[in-house]
Amino acid sequence: MFFVSNAYAQSAGAAEPNPMVTIAMFVGLFAFMYFLIIRPQRKRQKEHTNLVTALGKGDEVVMTSGMLGKITKLEGDYVVLEVNNNLTLKFQKVAVHAVLPKGTIKAI
């Protein structure tokens, strides 16, 4: 008993948490997740979908890999890029990161 402290029973007046507070915390957490994570991601996804559907022949684009090129042909879900005078590569449309202003590739 030299190093052991005495154990006492807990008092009987412990309050139960209010279930409305718990529900309000869950609703608040969901609202936080929606406005800071889900909504901005949906907005970016919608903008990217609009960008991909608006692609056309002759557009200068940047791919997600960083490659620059000019679109020479659209084939369903694929796009054919001319990256050099005699070099063309085929990519998926969803890999397009951004459309550049006309003449950007020549200026680089």
Contact between 102 and 60 under an 8 Å Cβ cutoff? The reply is: yes
Under DSSP, is residue 95 helix (H, G, I), strand (E, B) or coil? helix
Report pLDDT for 1.
Answer: 54
Report pLDDT for 9.
Answer: 62
Single out the residue of 87, 47, 51 nearest to residue 69, CA to CA: 87
Alpha carbon distance 32, 96 (integer Å): 31
Contact between 93 and 52 under an 8 Å Cβ cutoff? The reply is: yes
Q: Give me the chain's average pLDDT, please.
A: 89
DSSP line for 23-55: HHHHHHHHHHHIIIIIHHHHHHHHHHHHHHHT-
Contact between 53 and 62 under an 8 Å Cβ cutoff? The reply is: no
pLDDT tens for 10-20 read 665 556 778 89
pLDDT tens for 50-66 read 999 999 999 999 999 99
Q: In the chain, what percentage of residues exceed pLDDT 90?
A: 72
Predicted TM-score of the model (pTM): 0.71
pLDDT tens for 15-44 read 677 889 989 999 999 999 999 999 999 999
CATH of the domain spanning 56-107, picked from 3.40.190.150, 2.30.30.30, 3.30.70.100, 3.30.365.10: 2.30.30.30
